[in-house]
Amino acid sequence: MSTSSVPGVDAPAPPPTVTRSMGDLVRAAVSGWLGTALEFMDFQLYSLAAALVFSQLFFGGGDPAMAVVLAMATYGVGYIARPLGAFVFSRIGDKVGRRKVLFYTILLMGAATTLIGFLPTYEQVGILAPILLVILRLAQGFGAGAEISGAGVMLSEYAPTQRRGIIASLVALGTNCGTLFASAIWAILLAVMLESDVIAWGWRIPFIGSSVIMLFALWVRFNLKESPVFEERADVVDGKALSREEMIELATETNDIRTLESVKRKPVKAVIVAFFLRFGQAGNSGMVQTYLISFITITLAMSKQVGPEVVIVSSLIGFLTIPLVGFLGDRFGRRRMYIIMTSLSLVLIIPTLLMINTAEVVWVFVGYALIHNISVLGLASMENIAIPEIFGARNRYTLTAMVREIAAIIATGVGPIVVAAWVAATTGSIVPVMVLMGIFTASALAAAIWAPEWTGRDLTDPRAAM
């Protein structure tokens, strides 16, 4: 794997002056895993609730297909606040450190999720019910906007260079754990309770119960040390980043060529590549983890238990997929693995979705597990380290968060709404899902082909990788 074209890799990196113990690394890994697990538990709790009960509870009185569209639209509202939250929190994280920001993002995100469990329904308060749901989704999105980006940045800056992919895959495992936990809760509720009881009050249990994970995550992060890369940055003095003018003055005095170059050269290509890598994964996530559950339940008219159960089975398989892809990314390079995974995804889209469209339980499970693990979980395993590695140390958190969230609001926020309306207009055809997944996946493939290899670069380098 050649790294000669990567800034900061072709020149020897300065020896590290800030170190962390194995215990510190473990705490950072657990912190990232917990925060991401909570974020994706929130994600999946709402996704399944939107597919199974929210269309009845918060959007009563209309056509069932339109109620699903409105439920998906409310899901998408959470993504409107994410770029704003990403911008606010990540800039603070680049200036004063990652640790403090990650404490507050998980607090805001977790509190909003818990409060959803206490909301009145449309039958109780009318139009106020969806309004309150939208407000909490906005708060949830504001906190989540910098959460998974911060977890990925923190863990990538803690991890040893040659094992970044496998260690950062713990963040992606957090997404899997959160998805699995939420799906398991829904599956248990639907199995042990009458459907009428689930709709009446049982749906509140998973939202309120998420507060337990939030409190544990807050405790872990309170005891977490700052990122060693942040403390080692040349422009950080007494735990706070210098202003641009102060940084240029200091770099000029010390002849810090890397910092001066990072100011002069705008990371345009790095931003474009990172954006489309994220765009592909985020779009596929919206199609598979959000919309397909509604498609299976509403359009194919299968039992409401099937949706949560297929997610559980696929997520269990993901416990093998995610670390394997992370390991292979360390071994062969992130760029090469992106090309392999997105090419495989393009090949599998049509056959796997045709399997799901049969409405035969066995084929639904097989098709969903294949497309979920390749097109969503496999790409998620890499992006949590790939995107932070692409950017320079000085603005890594800001650019990582903004790229991730802007791509998400376009792909994951809008995608399920578009496909729900398109499928409704085509009287239940699965072709719109195939088309959109093809566009998302091809975008990530093109970005990976265009990029130079960037794996293993010096993360203290203030310059972008391309």
Report yes or no on 457 lying in a domain. no
What is the per-residue DSSP string for 157-220? HHS-GGGHHHHHHHHHHHHHHHHHHHHHHHHHHHHHS-HHHIIIIITHHHHHHTHHHHHHHHHH
Quick: pLDDT tens for 210-238: 898 899 989 999 888 998 899 888 788 87
Burial label for 56, CB within 10 Å (0-12, 13-18, 19+), is middle
pLDDT band at 6 (very low <50, low <70, confident <90, very high): very low
Q: Rounded CA gap, 400 and 390, in Å?
A: 9
Q: Rounded CA gap, 264 and 170, in Å?
A: 35
236 φ/ψ angles, rounded to the nearest 5 degrees: -105, 120
Q: How many helices (H) and strands (E) does the chain have?
A: 23, 2
Quick: pLDDT tens for 362-380: 999 999 999 999 999 999 9
Q: What is the CA radius of gyration of the chain?
A: 22
Q: Rounded CA gap, 355 and 235, in Å?
A: 54
Taking the alpha carbons of 175, 33, 212, 317 in that order, is the dihedral positive or negative? positive
Q: How far is CA 129 from CA 55, 116, 199, in A?
A: 12, 10, 15
The candidate with the shortest Cα–Cα distance to 221, out of 164, 157, 155, is 155
Reply yes or no on whether the pLDDT at 84 is more than 50: yes
Neighbours of 330 (CB within 10 A): 22
State the chain's mean pLDDT as an integer: 87
pLDDT band at 114 (very low <50, low <70, confident <90, very high): very high
Quick: pLDDT tens for 396-428: 999 999 999 899 888 987 888 899 899 989 988
Where would I find the H helices in 64-163? 64-96, 98-116, 122-125, 128-144, 147-158
pLDDT band at 13 (very low <50, low <70, confident <90, very high): very low
Higher pLDDT: 106 or 179? It is 106
Residue 333 structural domain: 22-227+266-450
Report yes or no on 16 lying in a domain. no
Report yes or no on 31 lying in a domain. yes
Reply yes or no on whether the pLDDT at 276 is more than 90: yes
- What are residue 421's DSSP bridge partners? none
Q: Rounded CA gap, 178 and 351, in Å?
A: 28
Report yes or no on 458 lying in a domain. no
Total number of domains in the chain: 1
pLDDT of residue 9: 46
Among 65-74, 76-85, 310-319, 436-445, which is the least confidently predicted range? 65-74
Task: Give the CA-trace dihedral at 442, 448, 451, 457, to 10 degrees.
Answer: 150
314 φ/ψ angles, rounded to the nearest 5 degrees: -65, -40
The candidate with the shortest Cα–Cα distance to 375, out of 349, 351, 411, 357, is 349
Higher pLDDT: 91 or 40? It is 91
The three-point CA angle 159-327-333 to 5° equals: 90
- The letter for the amino acid at 398 is T
Report yes or no on 335 lying in a domain. yes
What CATH number should be reported for the domain holding residue 89?
Answer: 1.20.1250.20
Report yes or no on 232 lying in a domain. no
